[in-house]
């Protein structure tokens, strides 16, 4: 959530950066400034009346101590009207603050200066390409046919149990999943991330803190009886570990990683491009979350991007890195890198990771601050990234490593799987 003072002091810049997102409700900026003016005026009037009331109370007390009850009663009568006005102004102030909050949460984060103007995935900026497409044999199959051929993932069985988008992993398919999870966690902890296990259900305050509410209600599974949400990503519970926390400057950056299942309704997702593992309602992911000093957060972002790329290199996958344009970024993000792996069998790029810097957008909601050596507190920057989401990584491995004899396992995973071929 953007800070009101920043919007007031940088109106033109806010409007310019929102235009990079092709954000259409720019009138909200002036509405926020006008409402904040009204709120400030109400606050000033309330403070003045409260000061008068406090002075009168002291005067009444002094008169009563000196036995001047009639004079004290006279002043009491005069302050009755002030008390009613104070109550009215307090109610007006509360209403203005609620309305201001309602408007502020409708504004997305401001894109970083490097983020280009755009609205669609086609306008994203390709900044790096690694490797060459895998050379697969003639007659190679897409992963949804390979998984059936080798009986390692059963989409129909998952549909019977739950519905479409909830596959069942079997035998070497399940072991490959577990191998990837352990591979990603081991590498993360070697990079200084602390592994945490977190709840898979979160409350409204947690969803608000990281920006899922009120933006993405329709994309989350909601347990209405208890008013809890199934997590769409470990970002939500892990970042919320630090809600209402004041860190010490020397503790930064804070680095956590977590493996969790993730649940997304993916409403409106249909067609061949979401077939098989390409888009699921439940999937596994290892998430990285960092809390950084504002002066270092973009160095941290670059480091997280390089780290995720190192995993893809170790798995021997052909990938590219995109810097998302303003309109294709998530609502809370100031800059996002997407990593996409080339699927040789599908002849298309598959997104396998997003790494984002949210600057103070989440921390302002979370009241996540740090205290410097001066003793002053300020908002920290939050970042996260997938390292990695499993479905499309599994799809890429299965498709790019297929041979007439079976599916080879990347060398880096063999010590985790215990086998080097699915046949």
Strand order in the sheet with 282-292: 125-130, 319-323, 335-343, 348-357, 381-389, 282-292, 254-263, 194-195
Per DSSP (E only), the strands in 272-398 are 282-292, 319-323, 335-343, 348-357, 369-371, 377-379, 381-389
Report which of 387, 331, 378, 327 is spatially closest to residue 355, judged by C-alpha positions.
387
**Residue 62 annotated as binding?**
no
Write the burial class of residue 156 (CB in 10 Å: 0-12 exposed, 13-18 middle, 19+ buried): exposed
Task: With beta carbons less than 8 A apart as the criterion, state whether 176 and 202 touch.
Answer: no
Known binding residue 287? Answer is: yes
Model-level pTM? Answer: 0.92
In SS3 terms, 106-168 reads as CCCCCCCCCCCCCCCHHHCEEEEEECCCCCCCCCCCCHHHHHHHCCCEEHHHHHHHCCCCCCE
Q: Give the torsion through C-alpha atoms of 272, 276, 281, 284, to 10 deg.
A: -140
- The answer to whether 233 is a known ligand-binding residue is yes
Residue in 198, 141, 179 with CA at minimum distance from that of residue 388: 179
| d(C-alpha 9, C-alpha 263), whole Å | 40
Say if residue 352 carries a ligand binding annotation.
yes
Is 264 marked as binding a ligand? Answer: yes
Q: Which domains does the chain have, with CATH numbers?
A: 4-104 (1.10.287.40), 121-422 (3.30.930.10)
Cα 111 to the chain's mean position, in Å?
15
Are the C-beta atoms of residues 316 and 397 closer than 8 Å to each other? no
265 is in an annotated binding site: yes
Return per-residue pLDDT of the chain as tens, 423 residues.
999 999 999 999 999 999 999 999 999 999 999 999 999 999 999 999 888 877 877 777 777 777 777 776 676 666 777 888 898 999 999 999 999 999 999 999 999 999 999 999 999 999 999 999 999 999 999 999 999 999 999 999 999 999 999 999 999 999 999 999 999 999 999 999 999 999 999 999 999 999 999 877 789 999 999 999 999 999 999 999 999 999 999 999 999 999 999 999 986 555 556 789 999 999 999 999 999 999 999 999 999 999 999 999 999 999 999 999 999 999 999 999 999 999 999 999 999 999 999 999 999 999 999 998 888 999 999 999 999 999 999 999 999 999 999 999 999 999 999 999 999
65 is in an annotated binding site: no
- Check whether 394 is labelled as a binding-site residue: no
């Amino acid at each position: 959530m953007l800070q009101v003072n920043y919007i007031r002091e940088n109106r033109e810049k806010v409007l310019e950066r929102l235009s990079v997102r092709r954000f259409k409700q720019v009138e909200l900026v002036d509405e926020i400034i006008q409402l904040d003016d009204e709120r400030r005026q109400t606050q000033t009037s309330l403070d003045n009346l409260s000061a008068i009331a406090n002075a009168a109370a002291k005067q009444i007390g002094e008169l009563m101590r000196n036995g001047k009850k009639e004079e004290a009663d006279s002043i009491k009568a005069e302050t009755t009207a002030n008390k009613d006005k104070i109550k009215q102004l307090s109610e007006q102030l509360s209403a203005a603050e609620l309305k201001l909050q309602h408007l502020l949460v409708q504004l997305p984060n401001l894109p970083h200066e490097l983020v280009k103007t755009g609205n669609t995935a086609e306008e994203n900026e390709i900044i790096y390409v690694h490797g060459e497409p895998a050379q697969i044999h003639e007659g190679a199959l897409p992963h949804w046919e390979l998984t059936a051929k080798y009986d390692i993932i059963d989409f129909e069985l998952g549909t019977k149990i739950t519905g479409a988008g909830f596959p069942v992993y079997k035998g070497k398919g399940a072991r490959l999943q577990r191998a990837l999870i352990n591979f990603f966690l081991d590498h993360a902890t070697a990079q200084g991330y602390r592994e945490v296990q977190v709840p898979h259900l979160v409350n409204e305050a947690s969803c608000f803190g990281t920006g899922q509410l009120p933006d993405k209600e329709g994309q989350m599974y909601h347990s209405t009886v208890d008013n809890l949400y199934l997590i769409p990503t470990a970002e939500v519970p892990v970042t919320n570990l630090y809600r209402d926390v004041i860190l010490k400057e020397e503790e930064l950056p804070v680095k956590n990683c977590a493996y969790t299942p993730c649940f997304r309704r993916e409403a409106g997702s249909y067609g061949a491009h979401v077939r098989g593992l390409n888009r699921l309602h439940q999937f596994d992911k290892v998430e990285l979350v960092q809390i950084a000093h504002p002066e270092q957060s973009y160095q941290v972002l670059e480091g997280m991007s390089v780290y995720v790329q190192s995993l893809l290199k170790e798995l021997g996958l052909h990938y590219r890195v995109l810097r998302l344009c303003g309109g294709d970024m998530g609502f809370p993000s100031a800059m996002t890198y997407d990593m996409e792996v080339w699927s040789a069998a599908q002849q298309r790029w598959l997104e396998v990771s997003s790494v984002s810097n949210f600057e103070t957008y989440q921390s302002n909601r979370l009241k996540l601050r740090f205290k410097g050596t001066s003793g002053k507190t300020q908002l920290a920057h939050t970042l996260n990234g997938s390292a990695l989401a499993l479905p499309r990584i599994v799809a890429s491995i299965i498709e790019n490593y297929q041979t007439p004899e079976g599916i080879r396992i990347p060398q880096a995973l063999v010590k985790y799987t215990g086998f080097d071929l699915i046949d």
